[in-house]
Structures are given as structure tokens and as C-alpha cells.
Structure 1
């Protein structure tokens, strides 16, 4: 079994954000980084070449594969800000309705611009996700 491609490392988060080519996306990344740090109480950490994560948990699959992953994070992609909330979005209907324009993936929330979303709602989503134990962290799991 190989190592997961995306792993935590000691890359410079500020330098990564400073290198984002688009000025609006760069400013949004700075805002989102501060919001997530405040919401989680954790420092930002680079995961792979393009994800900024906060907190982490250890997982073990039934196959025996295991690793570590961030609890919440984001990536300033060319087309969107991608927000990662590891507990998903299934139970977030009311929050998503109030959030503003977005698209959803399995554990990804795609935002085009932060000035179009309600940052208080986004902060609450990040806080809720960070506090929710991942199944691998729960004591009732094998």
C-alpha cells in the first residue's frame, strides 16, 4: 500500500497564499485562512502543494490503509475557493440556504467569491465541522 499523495508538511502557508496569481482569490484566501484559524483555534498547515488545513485526525480503513487528514481546510483554485469540511454537507441544508452562491461536491464546497457569501454562516459551518468527530475518531468505531 502506498502513501497518500496529499500529506501534511511544513510548507509556508503565507508564501503559498502570497503566490496565488489572482488578487481577489489571494485576498479571499487570506480571509478564509484567518476565519478558519479563528473558528478552529488551530494554526494553518500545508497539505500537499495546494491545500491549507486546520486540525487533523487519524483514519484506518477496513482494508488496513491508514493515514492522517485535516479536519477542515481550503484551497484557492483558479476557478473557485474550495472549502473542505470532512463531515460533509448532508445535514447542512438550512446553513447552505443562507450561505449564498455555492456548488457542492462530496466533501467540497465551491465558492467563487467570499464577498457573495455570508461569512458568519461559513464560520458556523467550519466550527460545526471541526467539532464533529470524524468516524475514525469516535470511540464506538472498531
Structure 2
């Protein structure tokens, strides 16, 4: 399996050099290296503040990753409530997902339309854009063990240039079992990365989406 592309801290919007240096001095080399690291561990570092760390978390979420304590022990319920922590910047937008896919480059246009068709057929739901690049289906609300809460989507995908990210498919009762049959992939904390749909078994993908969708009610 290939490793997913890495993100430099300087590429995270709204973060500054002191934050980057603090994280690097603590031994974290890329954004992805923070996946699963407890919030309290990082906020204790000199040079790390709540605003910058909130932007780090938002960037992780867009890649299907998360700081450790944001999801540990979370309670997830169906539907959106509008109760969202102030530092979470990823929300539903008014962008048309089809228009977004049409504006992608090269092979990702066809890949995006293929995934729109598959997710739409299995879920029967209308897609929504979340942030600048995620396409989500369904609605859930989560509350972490610390009381931090927000709205999210049940499952979806992001057809990024380097990798396609599939969200919400691993945590269903059969998610891990089906994942082993999927094909060529790499994993993040909350997502599965693939290079292109041709690398995976699309019947297995449909089964994983179906399992995820069945769990939203």
C-alpha cells in the first residue's frame, strides 16, 4: 500500500511560524503526525494556542483525521443540531457538489462523478459540500467526552488531487471486515485513502456505504 501525501504545517491556513516551530520542536514533523495526539498534550506546549490548534484540528478533520481527545468517547446521534464548537470551521456550504466535481482537474472529474453516482445510489440522499472539498451524505451530531460538540456527515468522500478520501466507512459493525476486501488503500484515523476507483472492489465499497448508512438511524 502507498502512503498518503504529507502536509507541512506552513500549508495549514491561518497558522503561524511560532506554532509550527513548537510542534516541530516537540517532534511532530507534519500535520498528519498529529493524528491521535491528545489536545491537552499539544496545548501545553509553549507557542501553541487555542486558535492555532483549532485550525490544526479543522485541517485534520478535512483529511479524515483528528486530535485524539476530540473523538475519544464521543456520543454520536442522528441529525444536525447547530451546536458546534466555535473553532470548528468546516460546515455545509452552498456550493453544488456536481459543479464542484465538474471543476476538478483531469481524471478526478470522472472519478468524482463515479463516486457521486455510487454514494447517491446507495444512500438515496442528496450530497452536500462540507468545507471546500468534502462531499457528505446524511447528518450526525457528536459530543466528545470533554463536552466539545459539532455536526458532521454520515459518510462521503473528497476527490483530492493526490488521493481520494472516503469518510465514515470503517466504524460500522462490518466496516473492518469489509475493508480487508476493498483492494488497494491506506488508512487515516477516520478515513480510507485510495488513488482511484479502479484500485478497489466497487461492490465492497457499496457494501461499506450501505453498512454506514444503515447505522445512521
Uncovered stretches (5+) of structure 1, i.e. residues with no partner: 138-142
Computing the radius of gyration from Cα coordinates, the structure with the larger value is 2
Pick closer, same or farther for the CA change 1:93–1:67 going to 2, 3 Å: closer
Shift of 1:89: 7.3
> Structure 1 or 2: larger strand share?
1
Of the three residues 152, 161, 178, the one matched with 1:78 is 161
1:121 aligns to 2:211 (yes or no): no
Aligned to 2:117: 34
Root-mean-square deviation (Å) = 2.0
TM-score normalised per structure 1: 0.83
Uncovered stretches (5+) of structure 2, i.e. residues with no partner: 1-84
Secondary structure class of the residue paired with 1:52: strand
Instruction: Give distance in 2, aligned partners of 1:114 and 1:87.
Output: 17
Q: Equivalents in 2 of 1:72, 1:33: separation in Å? A: 12
Corresponding residue pairs, total:
133
| Aligned residue runs from structure 1 range 1-142, under 5 A | 1-22=85-106, 24-85=107-168, 88=171, 92-133=175-216
Supply the distance in 2 between the matched residues of 1:124 and 1:131 (Cα, whole angstroms): 10
Q: Distance in 1 between matches of 2:154 and 2:182?
A: 20
TM-score by length of 2: 0.56
